[in-house]
Amino acid sequence: MHIFTYGSLMFPQIWQRVVRGNYRSAPATAPGYARYALADDTYPGMIVSPQATVEGVLYFDVDAQDVAVLDAFEGSEYRRDVIDVVINSGETVIACTYIFVAEQRLSGSPWEPQTFQMSRFIGANIGTYCRDKLGG
């Protein structure tokens, strides 16, 4: 399945630490959605917003094992949904993405990729996740 990412997972440095496979990717947009910073964390949540559009990265043909890993990584505050995304050629592609369900944690401020605090995120989330995933 194709996976649209719009937050930490759109950065190869994060994506490659979470999944095991190598996947082709392309810039894409998700019309009808908005991305907001969380009030108390470094990563965003995406919710339905008919007048908005979210830029992100689409990963093609992600295998079922890595989708299961992504489900675990995203956790209970996200729900995997099927959406339409648009790639640079203008083609609409059906993909899965993770919709944020804990809307009370959203700050109301847009989340901007250029301000992402990657080292803070890796230290706070990836190290713990990888230790848990690997059982050590």
Count up the domains in the chain and report the number: 1
pLDDT tens across 37-50, in order? 998 778 899 999 99
Q: What's the CA gap between 42 and 51, in Å, rounded?
A: 25
Mean pLDDT of the chain: 87
- Residue 134: per-residue pLDDT: 38
- The pLDDT of residue 117 is above 90: no
Residue type, 111: W
User: How far is the CA of 62 from the CAs of 47, 59, 69, 120, in angstroms?
Assistant: 23, 7, 11, 27
CA distance 131 to 24: 27
* Residue-number span of the structural domain to which 42 is assigned: 3-134
Whether the predicted pLDDT of 60 surpasses 50: yes
CATH number, domain containing residue 79: 3.10.490.10
Which residue did the predictor score with more confidence, 111 or 124? 111
